[in-house]
Amino acid sequence: MKEISIALAGNPNSGKTSIFNELTGTSQYVGNWPGVTVEKKEGTWRKNKKVKIQDLPGIYSLSPYTPEEIVARDYLLHQQPEVILNVVDASNLERNLYLTTQLLETGIPVVVDLNMMDVVKKMGNRVNEEKLAYGLGTPVVCTSAVKGDGVEAAAEKAEKWAKDKTFSPTFPSYDRKLESALSEIEDFLPSTISSRQTRWYAIKLFERDTRVQAELSFSEEIQKEIEEIIQISEKIFADDSESILINERYEFIVKLVELCSTKKDSFKLTWSDKIDRIVTNRILAIPVFAFVMWLVYYISIQTIGTMGTDWINDTLFGTIIPNAATGAMVSLHIAGWMQALVLDGIIAGVGAVLGFLPQIATLFFCLAVLEDCGYMARIAFVMDRFFRKFGLSGKSFIPMLIATGCGVPAVMATRTIENEKDRRMTVMVTTFMPCSAKLPIIALIAGAFFPTSSWVAPSAYFIGIAAIVLSGIMLKKTALFSGDPAPFIMELPAYHMPRARGVLQQTWNRSVAFVKKAGTIIFVACILIWFMSSYNFQLKPVAEDVSILAAIGNVVAPLFAPLGWGNWRATVATVTGLIAKENVVGTFGILYGGMAEVSENGHEVWPMLQVAFTSVSGYSFLIFNLLCAPCFAAIGAIHREMITWKWTGIAIGYQCGLAYLVSFVVYQLGSWFFENNNFGLGQFLAIGVIGGIIYALVRKPRKKLDMAGVPSAI
């Protein structure tokens, strides 16, 4: 039997993912589409392993405006699934059927799945699926993904429709003048285009779709003739070509909905409407949202997630596995260097990754519940107006809140942001928020240099917030991120009880993806750092202060002299902080005090630090470590979301560059104001840096880059 590919397509929040999880169960693969940070889900139907199911990103149309739309469109046109199962929110037919008309135009067999029929019945409305099927010219099935009703039958219908040899594509019929123009354009299409797809290409040429124009590469003469047809149509309809098609589609949809549906009382408030009067209220929305996200953070990072993390770090990888491994290696007479590699490199590296897993899994579970019940869309709606002022997406706030606990789940939480530019920018700035691993550094500097000042710890958070806000404004004015943040043009889905299977499946898939991707990077990095801190260039085991790491530290240290702490110990502490930020305190304990163990705030080494640093240089050191590149686990997560090393390098470079400039300004001007240093070149340059930042904030935005990297007008 030949394999059949079913593509699930639909609007965001239509229940598409719930149907995918119901059909595939555990037999699914989650990754990224090549070249973009858009999640790719594919699996096999549990009832028939010969049927492959591809869950396309949630989209509103097949116009190539977003990465999600480009991914869906390219897959449908170039990989040609045997059938499309179009998941439609039956409680919001007009909005959802717009995509349906475009899917029909591709010439691929389409089965329309009227999902959320339970919501339609609760509202007292009716949808006649037979009349809808007649109007669309394609099969229609009814489901309720939340209850699991009709899902298997929908897949069976799609499989049967894919095998139907009598299939002939039917398309929505528009105004005869538009149909005449489309027919004329079809005559210019090359014979290599399938007869099923001529309608699609004619429509796209009529819309002046640049991607299709580039693909077909018509001669100048043909291009002029097609343009004449379009211009004549625009004069007849007194509108631009794209608007003509949009209006025609909606006229077709309105007539179709009037034919097949009835509404009991369109003015009666539903339960979702009543809840939204509180949840999206101008005054109450922010407090409700703050409480919900505090609860998510409290459960994921401070209570349930922390219990698992503490047990894995302190017991599993702190005692059980190291003791078992040590006993086994001793009994097998393994060489000492190999024992150190296994214990301090491999086990420590794996433990550093898996230690985050309980927090991440709990976080993903909470987010999956919020997404499935319909509240996540409300969060985006509530925060969008405020964050758009700073060039960020409304969904950017969620990762930033989570980042106060841990940068790794915060970076991974950016997956809720659909727009690629907004997501990448959020990934770049999220870790500016001080995570719990940075608290020991804050305590160290505050205790050693500001024992009577209570402003140091709060200032760390204010600096993080300021760095995020100012970065949002500055980055949005660059060519890479220019343009308005994507507005939310979605219908808020009705609230419903989340399905246990879908929530658990989503939590599992995202957790496994984290372990596979971020884990491999930190695993290799920890082994490398262990080796560099344990051996010299002659590959002989030595003390840490004469190791390869120390030698490199001496070379790099002069770079940090303008920041006030150009010594190799501070440099090495910053480098080892890349493994885990808590390592900064432990490294100082070894390098300054010769102590293998120090307390969390490192009070044992305060006297030595007070000799090596001034108060201003100590605070400069704190700021740099708060804003610079995060730990390797978070860098791994950043690479996971950025996909390419180029974008990962841009993110890490920006973080380190901003950290350097801010620390430079703080030390140069701080030493002049508070330590009576003479005004010199450093102070002059610091004022220049401030001027440069002000210019970056107020200058006019640059032209944005399109998907091919070519400048275009905003």
CB-based contact 99:16 (threshold 8 Å): no
Of residues 451, 442, 449, the one with CA closest to residue 626 = 442
pLDDT level of residue 521 (50, 70, 90 thresholds): low
Report the pLDDT averaged over residues 316-337.
83
Question: What does the pLDDT look like over 439-453, one tens digit per residue?
Answer: 677 777 877 888 777
What does the longest C-alpha to C-alpha distance in the chain come to? 89
302/305 Cα distance (integer angstroms): 7
Contacts of 493 by beta carbon, 8 Å cutoff, 6+ apart: 13, 14, 89, 374, 377
Cβ–Cβ contacts within 10 Å for residue 385, how many?
12
Look at residue 336 and tell me whether its pLDDT is greater than 70: yes
Integer-rounded Cα Rg, in Å, for the chain is: 29
Contacts of 709 by beta carbon, 8 Å cutoff, 6+ apart: none
Look at residue 61 and tell me whether its pLDDT is greater than 80: yes
Question: What does the pLDDT look like over 637-655, one tens digit per residue?
Answer: 888 888 788 889 999 999 9
Contacts of 500 by beta carbon, 8 Å cutoff, 6+ apart: none
pLDDT of residue 83: 94
Least confident of 20-24, 107-111, 366-370, 699-703: 699-703
pLDDT of residue 303: 76
CB-based contact 97:256 (threshold 8 Å): yes
pLDDT level of residue 711 (50, 70, 90 thresholds): very low
Give the chain's mean pLDDT.
Answer: 80
459: tokens are 């200032």
CB-based contact 564:614 (threshold 8 Å): yes
Of residues 223, 212, 251, the one with CA closest to residue 74 = 212
CB-based contact 18:146 (threshold 8 Å): yes
Contacts of 144 by beta carbon, 8 Å cutoff, 6+ apart: 115, 116, 117, 118, 150
pLDDT level of residue 526 (50, 70, 90 thresholds): low
pLDDT level of residue 326 (50, 70, 90 thresholds): confident
CB-based contact 303:294 (threshold 8 Å): no
pTM: 0.60
Of residues 60, 73, 91, the one with CA closest to residue 33 = 73
Half-sphere exposure of 180 (CA within 13 A, CB side): 7
pLDDT of residue 450: 83
62/392 Cα distance (integer angstroms): 25
Question: What does the pLDDT look like over 281-306, one tens digit per residue?
Answer: 777 877 887 788 778 767 876 678 77
pLDDT of residue 710: 42
pLDDT level of residue 536 (50, 70, 90 thresholds): confident
Of residues 624, 678, 685, 618, the one with CA closest to residue 656 = 624
Is residue 9 within a helix (H) or strand (E), and if so which, with residue range? strand 4-10
Domains located in the chain, CATH noted? 4-163 (3.40.50.300), 522-712 (no CATH)
pLDDT level of residue 354 (50, 70, 90 thresholds): low
453/614 Cα distance (integer angstroms): 16
**Amino acid symbol at 666:** V
Residue 354 φ then ψ, to 5°: -70, -20
Contacts of 86 by beta carbon, 8 Å cutoff, 6+ apart: 9, 10, 99, 100, 103, 110, 111, 112, 113
Of residues 262, 266, 263, the one with CA closest to residue 131 = 262
439/379 Cα distance (integer angstroms): 28
Write the CA distances from 495 to 13, 119, 281, 370, integer angstroms: 11, 9, 16, 10
**Amino acid symbol at 319:** T
Cβ-defined contacts of 214-219 (< 8 Å, 24+): 216/189, 216/190, 218/188
Look at residue 114 and tell me whether its pLDDT is greater than 90: yes
pLDDT of residue 185: 94
299/296 Cα distance (integer angstroms): 5
Report the pLDDT averaged over residues 513-526.
60
Query: Starting from the edge strand earliest in sequence, which strands make up the sheet with 140-142, in order?
Result: 28-32, 39-45, 48-55, 4-10, 83-89, 110-115, 140-142
Report the pLDDT averaged over residues 657-679.
90
Look at residue 489 and tell me whether its pLDDT is greater than 60: no
